[in-house]
Amino acid sequence: MEILDVTDESFEREVLQSDVPVLVDFWGDHCAACRQIAPILHELAEERSGSLKIVKMHAAENVMTSSQFGIRAMPTVLAFAGGTVCGQLVGARSKVDFGELADRAS
């Protein structure tokens, strides 16, 4: 499953109105930890295709949504279920940590 890029304009449709839980990866251009977790999130997206959606949002280019959810550090990954935040991880973490975050949203 492909990881979608979302924007302020598509966030509500792709995340808040999603029929399945969503992990949102808020990232930035000069963020080494963001590059470090990207392959982990791709693996998780493949493994949980159909039961979990993973999207990326460039924090600096989508200030409205980043501000709304208080994004202060990158990467920050928020878990959404039914349009509500149900978990958060900040910084480079393990695949197990992201899996547990996804489980909280399921």
List the catalytic residue out of 1, 3, 31, 86: 31
List the catalytic residue out of 34, 54, 89, 102: 34
The three-state (H, E, C) secondary structure of the chain, written as one string:
CCCEECCCCCHHHHHHCCCCCEEEEEECCCCHHHHHHHHHHHHHHHHCCCCCEEEEEECCCCHHHHHHCCCCCCCEEEEEECCEEEEEEECCCCHHHHHHHHHHHC
Residue 31 is among the residues annotated as catalytic for this protein = yes
Residue 34 is among the residues annotated as catalytic for this protein = yes
| Residues with a known catalytic role | 31, 34
